[in-house]
Amino acid sequence: MEQARKGYCFTAIVGQDDMKTALILNVINPNLGGVLIRGEKGTAKSTAVRALAELLPERVQVADCRFGCAPNDKAHMCGECLEKLTNHKTLEQSLAKMKVVDLPVSATEDRVVGTLDMEHAIKTGEKKFETGILAGANRNILYVDEVNLLDDHVVDVLLDSAAMGVNTVEREGVSYTHPARFILVGTMNPEEGDLRPQLIDRFALSVTVIGERDAEKRVLVMENRLKYEDEPEKFFEDFEPMQQALRDRIKTAEGLLGQVTYSSRILEKIAKICIALDVDGHRADIVMLKTAMTLAAYSGRTEVTEEDVMEAAKLTLPHRMRRNPFEDAVLDLSQIEGI
């Protein structure tokens, strides 16, 4: 049987820097809240998401856990793993790579959240839970292509789980809760319709991608792709140094994130920017601060700078700014310079 081809190299993707940065920031800080990628077809949206999962090293998980719990993270374990620990049982460990879990546009709510077997519960008094897509997405990337075409109720469920880090299913007085901490990545083509503003706001970051307009970069896109298809071994060999350098940088940033600090001046700048741009609510302020902190860690620093705030504004504010229907979400940085 022919061996499955490895995924594309993340560092071989030409251009699309904002998209790549937004994805990396969510890996460094899974609590950010995901990213919405808008753009035309053929702009490497899906390729980038899958290549990011391929880039990341294997991580430890509980071997027989259907939610892939982290063995040393008691605060976010499922009930089964916690029960084993309570009974002083050993949690066997295994290594596994982060994976991309696809959520199809046609998915029903039951398929997403899972189902409770009520007949079993009535007969035995025990809960029997059939896992859904959110169970498999725990500690992984949940990828929703054409998220704007999903049923609004399913989108609500997704965003609630992404915000809370858990999925709760309730049926006739019986409930079951399991961890659902995932990186939510939604992609869409704005020409096919938009998300409701209150749903767009729930995505932490948003980027717009277009095809490269520079001839040299388009040539490089073709060369990289053909090398990947025709000479895969050489392709991976050529890009491995860059892949490893990025892995190391992400790992360093994860270690630094908890040490990042910010001044009152930074908080004031974020607040003034959100006021100047007439952004609704306070979610934008909080997400911008988290993003700026993650950017600082990604840059190898432990203090947020004003440059981090401006970079964070580009990723967190365009989709939250008030605009007319069918109007593109564009942030003009000159509007907030000097604040």
Contact of 184 with 34, CB cutoff 8 Å: yes
Distance CA 202, CA 142 (A): 15
Q: Which runs of consecutive H residues, i.e. helices, occur in 165-300?
A: 197-200, 215-230, 232-257, 264-276, 283-298
Q: Which residue is catalytic, options 59, 283, 301, 322?
A: 283
Tokens matching residue 13: 């993707």
Helix (H/G/I), strand (E/B), else coil: 262: coil
Q: Which amino acid type is present at position 172?
A: E
320 is catalytic: no
Distance CA 103, CA 142 (A): 7
Tokens matching residue 153: 């109720």
CA angle 160, 83, 133 (to 5 degrees): 35
In 43-69, which positions are buried (b, 16+ CB within 10 angstroms) versus exposed (e)?
bbbbbbbbbbbbbbeeeebbeebebbb
Closest Cα partner for 48 from 74, 27, 70?
Answer: 27
Tokens matching residue 92: 């066997």
The residues carrying an active-site annotation are 283
